[in-house]
Amino acid sequence: MTPTTKIYDPHAARGVSGFLSDLWVGLSMVELWRAFAWDEIQHRYRRSALGISWIVLSFLMFVAGVSFFFAGFSGRGVESFVAYVAIGYAAFIFITGNFVDGCQVFTSSSVWIKAVSLPYSVHVYRSLFRSLLTFFLQMVVVIPILVWAGIRPGAVTLLFVPAVLVYLLNAVAVQYLLGLVAARFQDIGHLVTSIVRLMIFVTPILWVREGLEGARALAADLNPLTHYVEIFRAPLLGEMPRSTSWLVVVVLTVAVWGVVAMVAAAFRRRLPYWL
What is the rounded CA–CA span in Å between residue 210 and residue 195?
A: 24
Specify the pLDDT at position 8.
Answer: 67
What is the rounded CA–CA span in Å between residue 229 and residue 206?
A: 13
Contact (CB, 8 A) for 26 and 33: yes
What is the rounded CA–CA span in Å between residue 125 and residue 145?
A: 30
- 0.95 exceeded by pTM: no
Contact (CB, 8 A) for 37 and 126: yes
Percent share of the chain, pLDDT over 70? 90
* Pick from 164, 80, 34: nearest CA to 72: 80
Specify the pLDDT at position 213.
Answer: 67
Segments in the chain below pLDDT 70? 1-13, 45, 48-50, 72-75, 211-213
Alpha helices in the chain (DSSP H): 15-28, 30-44, 53-70, 78-102, 110-115, 121-148, 160-184, 187-202, 214-222, 224-236, 243-267, 271-274
Specify the pLDDT at position 247.
Answer: 96
